[in-house]
Amino acid sequence: QKEEALKVQEEEEEAQKKIKVKDTNEADVEETEETEEISGEEEDETNVEEDTDAEMVEAEEVPEVTQDAEETEETEETEEIELTPETTQMAAALTPARPFTSDGKYRNKQRCLLLCSRGVTARYRHLLEDLRTFIPHNKRDSKLDPGEQGIGAAVNEIAQVKSCNSFLFVECRKRQDCYFTLGHTPRGPSARFLVNNVHTMDELRLTGNCMRGSRPVLNFDESFESVPHLRLLKELFIDVFGTPRGHPKSKPFVDRIMGFYYADKKIWVRNYQIIDQQAQNAKDAHAIKKQQEGANSAPDSIKGLETNLVEIGPRFVMTPIRIFAGSFGGQTLYLNDDYVSPNTVRAAHKSNKGNAYESRKFAQASRKDRGERIVVPEDPLDDVFR
C-alpha cells in the first residue's frame, strides 16, 4: 500500500510539472505575438508617414495638371462652338460614302400578321388571299372574334404569339364597308383606312403574272416625300408590303412593282409585272447585240425594245381616316378632315330619294295654283261677229 501511495504521489508531481511547462510555453507564444503586433504597427506608421509625404508631393504638382486640363477643356468647347450645321454638312458631303455590301444572310426578321374579322364578304376575303400571296413573310390566323377584350388587345396578343412585329387587319362593317388597319405592334404607330374600288385578281383576269414569293419594288409617288403624314405611311407600307431580303419563303428575284400613288386625297394601289422585251429571232438578237456594242445599223423597230409593265392585280383605293401613335389607339397623329363615312353618304342618298315624293307633290300644287292665278280678261268685242 505504501508503494502504491508513493506511485500516486509521483504521478501527481509529474502532471504538475507538465502543466507548468505548458503554461510557460503559452506565455512565450503570447509574448512573441505581442512583439510581432508592435513591430507591425510600427511598420504601418512608417508606411503611413511615407504615403502622407508622397501625397504632399503630388498635391504640390496637381494644380499645374488641373490648369492644363481646364485649358484643354476650354479649347475643346471653343472648337465645338465653331462647328455649325453648314460645316457639318460640308464635312459629310466631302467624306466619301462607303458602298453597301450585303452578306446575303437573313437578318431583317420582319413578320406581318394578316387576318380578318368575322362577317367579311367573299370579295374582301379574296382580296386578303391575294395579299397573302404577295406577302411571303406573312403569318395567318383564323377569323377574329375579339369578344370583350376588344380588337386591339386581341390582335396584339395574336401577334405576340406569332412573333410578328407588324399587322394588317381587314374589317368589314354591315357586309359592305371594308376597313384596313395596319401598323406596328405592340407600341404602334398604326393607321386606319377605308377601302374602296376593290378588284381581285380572279375578277380582273389580267395578263400580268409574276413568280410566287418574289420580292417587289415599292414605288411611291413624290407626295410621299413632301406630305408629313404620307412619310409616316410610307414607312408602314415598307414594313408591311416589303419582303425582307433572304426570307426563307421568298424568291431571290425582283419581277414586279407595287405602286402607291396619292391623288384626290386617296392612295391608289396597283401591282405590275416587269417584262423585258426579247428578240423574236436570231436576226433581231444580232441587231440588239450590235446596238449594245454601239453600232447604229439596228432597225428602228428593234431600237424601241424597252422594259414594260403589265398589271397583275389586285387593285384598290385607300382613304386615310386616322393615324394613331399606338397600336389600334393612342394619341391621334393625323385626322383626315375631308373624310365622310359611308353611313353618312348612304343616309344622304336615301334622304334624296325620300324627297322625290315631296318635290312631286309640291310641283303639282304649284302648277294648280299657277293655273288659278292666270285669268284671261274678257274681250268686249268678242260677241261682235257672232
Give the CATH number for residue 330.
3.40.50
Residue 73 covered by a domain: no
| Residue 74's pLDDT band (cuts 50, 70, 90) | very low
Write down the pLDDT at residue 341: 95
Higher pLDDT, 287 or 233: 233
Q: What is the pLDDT of residues 225-241, one digit of tens each?
A: 999 999 999 999 999 99
Specify the pTM: 0.65
Listed residue (14, 19, 257) closest to 134, CA to CA = 257
Residue 159 covered by a domain: yes
Residue 195 covered by a domain: yes
Residue 376 covered by a domain: no
Cell of 365: 300644287
Which residues, 6+ apart, have CB-to-CB distance to 371 below 8 Å? none
| Residue 115's pLDDT band (cuts 50, 70, 90) | very high
Contact 302, 289 (CB under 8 A): no
Residue 119 covered by a domain: yes
**Residue 76 clears pLDDT 50, i.e. is over it:** no
- Cα gap 318→203, rounded to integer Å: 19
Q: Mean pLDDT across the chain, nearest whole number?
A: 81
Write down the pLDDT at residue 242: 93
The residue-averaged pLDDT of 59-72 equals 46
Least confident of 52-66, 177-191, 279-293, 304-318: 52-66
Question: Which of 67-76, 208-217, 280-289, 295-304 has the highest mean predicted lDDT (pLDDT)?
Answer: 208-217
Q: What is the pLDDT of residues 337-377, one digit of tens each?
A: 999 999 999 999 888 887 888 888 999 999 999 988 888 78
- Considering its fold, how many domains does the chain have in total? 1
Residue 371 covered by a domain: no
Which residues, 6+ apart, have CB-to-CB distance to 238 below 8 Å? 218
Higher pLDDT, 373 or 334: 334
Residue 161 covered by a domain: yes
Write down the pLDDT at residue 180: 97
Q: Is the dihedral of CA 24, 30, 31, 33 positive or negative?
A: positive
Domain that holds residue 175: 107-204+221-245+315-343
Residue 81 covered by a domain: no
| Residue 53's pLDDT band (cuts 50, 70, 90) | low
| Residue 381's pLDDT band (cuts 50, 70, 90) | confident
